Amino acid sequence: MTEIVAWAELKPAEFIARRDTCPVVYLPLGLCEPHGHVAPFGLDTIKADYLVTEAARRFGGIVAPTMAYHIHETGYHAPWLRKVMGGVNPLLAALPPHLMLETLLYQLRAFHNAGFQAVVVISGHNANQADLRMVAEAFAAHHPISHFVRSDPELVAGRYQGDHAGRYELSQLLHIRPDLVAMDRASWVTTDPLGRFAQNPDVTEATAAEGKAIVEASIAAIGDAVHGFALDRGPQAFLPMAAMEPIWAGIAARRADWVTLRGDEG
């Protein structure tokens, strides 16, 4: 029987037992966006869900409900969308930076109030993680909590090269959910009205074996972070929503530093 680690599926007694044994919560972040003709829109979400679920089963802790919306029309992504997609695609489920970042802040509050002492945030969507870390650091400065915030390519940096709908991402999907891959559609980039649809040219080089290696290395990196957490803080005071207002005001005052608002700098 598969071990239940999802907050949404745990009953109170099992939730409290898992939390007290390992007070670590995992937050998977993803997005629905074009990933070529060979892959589903939710590839980023599928990656993040799988990595944190496996990490919770191996290292302990609980997986929070997935945040399946992300930032993708500003900052680094704006020129990328113009070049690769010809503009913002209507089949893209993006949020503005301020909404995503403030939501993350209140999620951290929820984790604190639920009795967790450490949080792992894994984003299957790349390039916005600096701002996610900024929020985690701002929260922890006021209410100490251990945190590890990474995009999945960062977990294997120096070993594998991240991409978008190419060899790296599709290899992972071939390992995680091969039933969702239609590699026979790779050539549609030359015939389909949608054109490239954000598909990387090296997608046909993807293999399940390489995907397994990437995924295992990623999970090991998460495990290293979990094993390094300090988890002995004891009881924590309840934080009302109003306690987040000054923290958010400080983050908002630094808008000039937000990576997700740097226009077309890339």
pLDDT, mean of residues 250-254: 98
Query: 231 is in which domain, residue-wise?
Result: 7-257
Per the domain annotation, does 207 fall within a domain? Answer: yes
pLDDT, mean of residues 62-74: 96
pLDDT, mean of residues 80-102: 92
Per the domain annotation, does 31 fall within a domain? Answer: yes
Per the domain annotation, does 172 fall within a domain? Answer: yes
Per the domain annotation, does 50 fall within a domain? Answer: yes
Provide the whole-model pTM.
0.96
Q: What are phi and psi of 235, to 5 degrees?
A: -60, 145
The number of distinct structural domains making up the chain is: 1
List the CATH number of the domain containing 27: 3.40.50.10310
* pLDDT single digits (tens) 132-156: 999 999 999 999 999 999 999 999 9
Per the domain annotation, does 226 fall within a domain? Answer: yes
Per the domain annotation, does 105 fall within a domain? Answer: yes
Q: What are phi and psi of 26, to 5 degrees?
A: -110, 130
Q: What's the confidence (pLDDT) of residue 266? A: 41
65: pLDDT strictly greater than 50: yes
224: pLDDT strictly greater than 90: yes
* Antiparallel, parallel or unpaired: β 24-29 and 146-151: unpaired
Q: Give the angle 107-97-105 at the CA atoms, nearest 5°.
A: 20
265: pLDDT strictly greater than 70: no
Per the domain annotation, does 80 fall within a domain? Answer: yes
Reported as a pLDDT band with limits 50, 70 and 90, residue 76 is: confident
Order of strands across the sheet that contains 24-29: 62-63, 24-29, 118-123, 146-151
Q: What's the confidence (pLDDT) of residue 48? A: 98
Q: What's the confidence (pLDDT) of residue 234? A: 79
Per the domain annotation, does 263 fall within a domain? Answer: no
pLDDT, mean of residues 43-65: 98
CB 47 within 8 A of CB 160: no
